[in-house]
Amino acid sequence: MSNIDDAITSTAFVIFGITGDLAKRKLIPALYELIISGQLISPLFIIGFARRDWSDDTLRDLIKNSITEFSPNLPLESQELNRLLEKARYVRSTFDDLTGYQKLGACLQDLGVQNLLFYLATPPENYLEVIRNIGTSGLNQGCGGWTRIVVEKPYGRDLESANELEKEIHQVFTEKQVYRIDHYLGKETVQNILVFRFANGIFEPLWNHKYVDHVQITVSETQGIGTRAGYYESAGVIRDVFQNHLLQLLTLTAMESPVTFTADAVRDEKVKVLHALRPLTGAEAIANTYRAQYVSGMVDGKRVVGYKDEPGVRSDSITETYMAARVFVDNWRWAGVPFYVRSGKRLAARVTEIAIQFKQAPLSLFNRHDMAGDAPNILVLNIQPDEGITLTFGAKKPGFQNQVLPVMMKFNYAESFGSEPPEAYVRLLQDCLVGDATLFTRSDEVRAQWAFTDGILNAWKSQNLRNLPVYEAGTWGPPGADEFIGRDGHCWRNPTDEITPQ
């Protein structure tokens, strides 16, 4: 941290790979929102660094276009925007050319900034050279204030490459300077998991193996892979969503209360969960995971192509676009409670949710028309899109018979707070600018995520499959996935099912 008063310093937000989609869609709109809403204490300047033949003016056009397109509610005429545009600079360079970094240094000096935030928004294959060159050119020494680096996912593609990246980054920055993004942590509803659990007294006593039967975590998407075949083909859903977003949701659901709500205390508890995961390797990994690929089907009333027909995908690809896993957290709290996690592209609906399925009442009292078995207690944390929390329980249907039917108590963000939750990047960028790393993944955390994931990846590789099971786009996945969870006598929740008592 700097000892210079933030109010009299200015900050350079240096985006490597500014010509890409991330800067346009997420970073620039989020920065402008922070500026215009007065959330930033010190003035901030955007500096772009990329290969394309752009000028300062092209960058200014990008800033304006990105705000118009992705933050249409923010004003396009403001003093703040004028200042942002006036100070915006573009450094044209390839990522391996040291002179580019020297030009960047001169530009920083010229602007007279003190704080430096480097943002890696390049393709991941450029991470190592950018980090190395920041170090070689001495830019990591900063400009008198604080210096930080934000690294986008994917953070490596297995434990070995993540370790390599770690080694390189720690040659140039200390761990306290490194902010690894998992944008799920920036989602308001994800942050609310801890508030819900630890700011209320009534749920935590039930939050363990004595009362919880199992947990289902779903990240389902209707979209396909778009134009990202190059990346997705070598990633699959396991690297794209399981290793990061799904495991993060699992750690927040399973972790113990931190001693304080500070970055290291929270992350210490998350890491303990990752270390308590029962390793999935070899035959165990095969038996406890299920993967599949989509074929053509109907999504939102339109026919979409199958994965193998997506542009850029090999016709013999065995990249999974769906995966499910049965995971155990081997500690006192969760012993014996299965966590079923699943994620897929081109599924029936876009839903992210965590469903805590509580155990049945110990005795059926209303046995003649008993529906307790069909209407168990489920607490659902709806992360998106219908942000909120629901609790399902059995109630007596009015009438002469003792008939139990499921009903629902519902909390909805928009209804309760009168507004939609903010964009994840707004919160994350604010946090890295003020130096709060709670919502960023720590070095040991990301390595533990990879160590667990590697077991599955290696087992899958050794299977040498030529084809994967398939599912029709627009459905909830293949029948095999239902059989997978069905072996334990459970079924997947269909998150779009509304409860309608009859």
Q: Which of 170, 183, 245, 490 is catalytic?
A: 245
Residue with tokens 């839903």: 351
When the beta carbons of 166 and 240 are compared against ligand BG6, the nearer one is 240
Q: Could you give the CA distance from residue 9 to residue 7 in angstroms, rounded to a whole number? A: 6
> Whole-number minimum distance, CB 153 to ligand BG6, in Å?
6
Contacts with ligand BG6, 245-284, as mask; x by CB under 6 A: ----------------------------------------
Q: Yes or no: say if 420 and 413 are a contact pair by the CB < 8 Å rule.
A: yes
Q: Residue of minimal CB distance from ligand BG6?
A: 240
> Whole-number minimum distance, CB 94 to ligand BG6, in Å?
25
Q: Can you give the three-state secondary structure of 236-302, one letter per residue?
A: HHHHHHHHHHHHHHHHHHHCCCCCCCCHHHHHHHHHHHHHHECCCCHHHHHHCEEEEEEECEEECCE
Is 234 in a helix, a strand, or coil? coil
When the beta carbons of 221 and 431 are compared against ligand BG6, the nearer one is 221
245: annotated active-site residue: yes
Q: Does 221 bind ligand BG6 (CB under 6 A)?
A: yes
In sequence order, which residues have a C-beta less than 8 Å from that of residue 332 and are 6 or more positions away? none
Q: Could you give the CA distance from residue 391 to residue 394 in angstroms, rounded to a whole number? A: 10
> Whole-number minimum distance, CB 14 to ligand BG6, in Å?
22
- What is the footprint of ligand BG6 within residues 350-379 (CB under 6 A)? 352
Q: Between vectors from CA 382 to CA 239 and to CA 186, what angle results, nearest 5°?
A: 55
Q: Could you give the CA distance from residue 12 to residue 109 in angstroms, rounded to a whole number? A: 10
> Whole-number minimum distance, CB 229 to ligand BG6, in Å?
12
When the beta carbons of 115 and 243 are compared against ligand BG6, the nearer one is 243
What is the identity of the amino acid at 417? F
> Whole-number minimum distance, CB 477 to ligand BG6, in Å?
16
The answer for 312, left when phi > 0, alpha when psi is -120 to 50, beta otherwise, is left
Contacts with ligand BG6, 144-183, as mask; x by CB under 6 A: ---------x------------------------------
Sign of the Cα torsion 188, 189, 194, 198 reads positive
- What is the footprint of ligand BG6 within residues 17-56 (CB under 6 A)? none
**The binder of ligand BG6 chosen from 33, 152, 188, 240 (CB under 6 A):** 240
When the beta carbons of 22 and 67 are compared against ligand BG6, the nearer one is 22
When the beta carbons of 153 and 214 are compared against ligand BG6, the nearer one is 153
Q: Which residues are catalytic?
A: 245
**Interface residue list for ligand BG6 (CB under 6 A):** 153, 221, 240-241, 352
